[in-house]
């Protein structure tokens, strides 16, 4: 018998051992994926009508050690960043001012603020520029609330409860719905609005945001609030803040466990976080006298 197969095996193993021994055992914990700043903030169209109010964005430099982010206890903390917003339709650029804000827990945060008129339908780019030329940016298109015309289905009476399905066409995400009931005298000459808070209800569909108004429960609540049943329901409306179409969390829920993952809801290039925009939607739709009578009003 020959020793050749044994020698071949030895050679393989020795070569493998040497190869492996030369390999580096260093571990690089960083992805080196060019993430420089985390941004949180939004443009609010409704501030156009609030003189003196500012738009704000919080800017956090992404650090390589956890100790660096604890520097927010320093009231003189510095940040290497300049922030500008650019209206991509007009090219108008606005420089945002840096402030070191004392936050609710006593720490300090780098907040940049600007006063600007936010145009519905316009796209704004926020850029955070570092002195070495690094730029993190995020784009947001301000929702056009005036173009949203609710499509209210005929109310349905089931088991003594009247409900109405409402579609807000084109809306992908919204915040805190108030259903606004206009209550008046027998001829509805001058209706008085009463709000019923719904919170963030409904779901996003391809056609838009769908939600259900529970008329019977709301009317009973209003009766209790007003202490009388002697009034007429003149119209129904909605008051809600519509968020830009990308400001939609995965699964539709603002769940901290999911959103803590940096990439789960982010529109920031070269960074994390979200810079969005909101607009206020206030609109009504008619309510038939027949349905009002079914509700006792």
- Could you give the angle at the alpha carbon of 47 between the alpha carbons of 75 and 76, nearest 5°? 5
In the numeric block, the tokens 């603002």 are attached to 254
Out of 51, 52, 66, 160, the residue judged to bind another protein by CB under 8 A:
66
248 is an interface residue for another protein by CB under 8 A: no
Q: Which residues contact 95 (CB under 8 A, 6 or more apart)?
A: 82, 83, 84, 114
Q: Which residues contact 203 (CB under 8 A, 6 or more apart)?
A: 209, 210, 211, 252
Q: How far is the CB of 120 from another protein (least distance, A)?
A: 15
Rounded alpha-carbon distances, angstroms, from residue 147 to 72, 167, 277? 43, 13, 16
Out of 250, 252, 286, 296, the residue judged to bind another protein by CB under 8 A:
250
Q: What's the CA gap between 275 and 280, in Å, rounded?
A: 17
Contact 281, 168 (CB under 8 A): yes
Distance between first and last Cα of the chain: 106
Name the one range near another protein by CB under 8 A: 126-134, 160-168, 204-212, 266-274: 266-274
175 is an interface residue for another protein by CB under 8 A: yes
| One-character DSSP codes across 83-127 | EEEEETTT--EEEEEEEEEE-TTS-EEEEEEE--PPPTT-EEEEE
Long-range contacts of 121-124, Cβ-Cβ distance < 8 Å, separation of 24 or more: 122/87, 122/88, 122/89, 122/90, 123/87, 123/88, 123/89, 124/43, 124/85, 124/86, 124/87, 124/88, 124/277
Q: Which of residues 11-40 bind another protein (CB under 8 A)?
A: 12-13, 16-17, 20-21, 23-31, 33, 35, 38, 40
Out of 10, 205, 229, 289, the residue judged to bind another protein by CB under 8 A:
10
DSSP state of 202: S
Between residues 144 and 152, which has the closer beta carbon with respect to another protein?
144
How many beta carbons lie within 10 A of that of residue 293, not counting itself?
11
Residue 205-244 contact track with another protein, rule CB under 8 A, x = bound: ------------------------------------x-x-
Between residues 14 and 88, which has the closer beta carbon with respect to another protein?
14
Between residues 30 and 49, which has the closer beta carbon with respect to another protein?
30
64 is an interface residue for another protein by CB under 8 A: yes
197 is an interface residue for another protein by CB under 8 A: no
Between residues 89 and 176, which has the closer beta carbon with respect to another protein?
176
Contact 125, 112 (CB under 8 A): no
Q: What's the CA gap between 229 and 73, in Å, rounded?
A: 57
Between residues 66 and 160, which has the closer beta carbon with respect to another protein?
66
68 is an interface residue for another protein by CB under 8 A: yes
Between residues 259 and 294, which has the closer beta carbon with respect to another protein?
259
Q: Which of residues 96-115 bind another protein (CB under 8 A)?
A: 101, 103-105, 107, 109, 111, 113
Between residues 173 and 182, which has the closer beta carbon with respect to another protein?
173
Instruction: Give me the residues that bind another protein (CB under 8 A), please.
Output: 1, 3, 5-6, 9-10, 12-13, 16-17, 20-21, 23-31, 33, 35, 38, 40-42, 44, 56-58, 60-66, 68-70, 72, 101, 103-105, 107, 109, 111, 113, 175-176, 241, 243, 250, 254, 256-263, 272-274, 276, 278
């Amino acid at each position: 018998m020959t020793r050749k197969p044994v020698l071949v095996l030895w050679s393989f193993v020795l070569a493998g051992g040497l190869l492996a021994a030369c390999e580096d055992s260093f571990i690089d914990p960083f992805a080196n994926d060019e993430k420089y700043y985390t941004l949180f903030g939004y443009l609010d169209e409704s501030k156009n009508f609030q003189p003196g109010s500012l738009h704000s964005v919080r800017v956090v430099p992404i650090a390589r050690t956890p100790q660096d982010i604890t520097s927010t206890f320093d009231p003189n903390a510095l940040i290497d960043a300049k922030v500008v917003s650019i209206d991509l339709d007009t090219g108008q650029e606005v420089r945002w001012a840096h402030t070191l804000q004392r936050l609710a827990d006593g720490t300090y945060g780098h907040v940049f603020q600007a006063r600007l008129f936010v145009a519905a339908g316009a796209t704004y780019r926020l850029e955070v520029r570092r002195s070495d030329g690094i730029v993190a940016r995020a784009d947001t298109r301000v929702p056009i609330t005036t173009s949203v015309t609710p499509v209210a289905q005929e109310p349905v009476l089931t088991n003594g409860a009247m409900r109405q399905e409402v579609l807000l066409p084109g809306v992908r995400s919204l915040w805190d719905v108030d259903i606004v009931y206009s209550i008046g005298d027998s001829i509805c000459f001058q209706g008085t609005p009463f709000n019923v808070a719904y919170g963030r209800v409904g779901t996003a569909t391809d056609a838009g945001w769908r939600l259900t108004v529970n008329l019977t429960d709301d009317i009973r609540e209003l009766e209790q609030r007003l202490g009388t049943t002697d009034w007429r329901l003149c119209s129904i409306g909605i008051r809600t803040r519509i968020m830009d179409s990308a400001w939609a969390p995965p699964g539709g829920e603002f769940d901290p466990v999911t959103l803590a993952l940096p990439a789960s809801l982010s529109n920031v290039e070269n960074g994390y976080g979200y810079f969005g925009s909101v607009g206020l939607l206030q609109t009504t739709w008619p309510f038939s006298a027949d349905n009002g009578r079914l509700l006792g009003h």
